[in-house]
Amino acid sequence: MNYIETHAHIYSTKFDSDRDQVIQDIRNAGIERVYMPNVDVATIEAMLACEERYPGLCIPMMGLHPCDVKDDYPEQLAIMEDWLNKRPFAAIGEIGLDLYWDKTFFEQQKEALRIQINWAKERELPIVLHCRDSIDETIAIVQDAYDGKLKGVFHCFTGTLDQARQITEMGFLLGIGGVVTFKNGGLDRILPEISLDHLVLETDAPYLAPVPNRGKRNSPAYLPIIAEKIGDLLHLSKEEVALKTKQNALNLFREIGS
């Protein structure tokens, strides 16, 4: 059984002490690919080093995370756009809005998001969206930019059924991770109303580990736990979840080779 991990920061310093072992665990768990969202300019080197060290497994994206949007965001975006012009990336991400941590630069977050959506449209790339405490605001910006071709995934979806339907009606996917295993995560009420056609699997490692590992460092190797829980909610086998979400991911991301 092969899974695709659509969102993991495997280049994080939290894996520096044992990354090779983590990668072996990932392979042993049947994870075929790990798509890596970029965060800011400072993470690009480490991300690309993972791609080089684990070719065909670790696949990079390019984008500026909303929590890293500060006064210097135009300079960061200029460097990222230069990278996009030099080599291929699987997606524009991790981009979006965040009203959980700090609202100081919210207007700048919105402008950075619009700019990066335009990059995606120009290059026919998908977008990977962070929308913590800002799903409605993120949906509004995506709807405004939507042209029938724009596609992507709302990472770490924890919203309402109405929000899920607004997202899937545009053809966007919902990234489902460890929260689905949390007792009060709320996804147990939402996912039974959503077709597997609209879902992809993710862990957001090293964050948000699923039960029974909640509170510990997360790993893409835990993806089968998430798949099994989704299968329980949708009355499907883990194998069916793995196969369909793999197809969804492959249809979404640009193929950039090994």
- The partner residues of 217 in beta bridges, in order of sequence, read none
Within-domain flag for 257: no
The residue range of the domain holding 191 is 3-252
For the chain, give the number of residues: 258
- With H, G, I as helix, E, B as strand and everything else as coil, classify residue 120: helix
Report pLDDT digits (tens) over 105-158. Answer: 999 999 999 999 999 999 999 999 999 999 999 999 999 999 999 999 999 999
Within-domain flag for 258: no
pLDDT over 90 (residue 32): yes
CATH number at residue 165: 3.20.20.140
Q: pTM of the full predicted structure?
A: 0.97
Cβ proximity of 11 and 46 under 8 Å = yes
The count of domains in the chain is 1
Within-domain flag for 221: yes
What's the pLDDT at 258?
42
**Under 8 Å CB-to-CB from 11, ≥6 apart: which residues?**
36, 43, 46, 47, 49, 50, 58
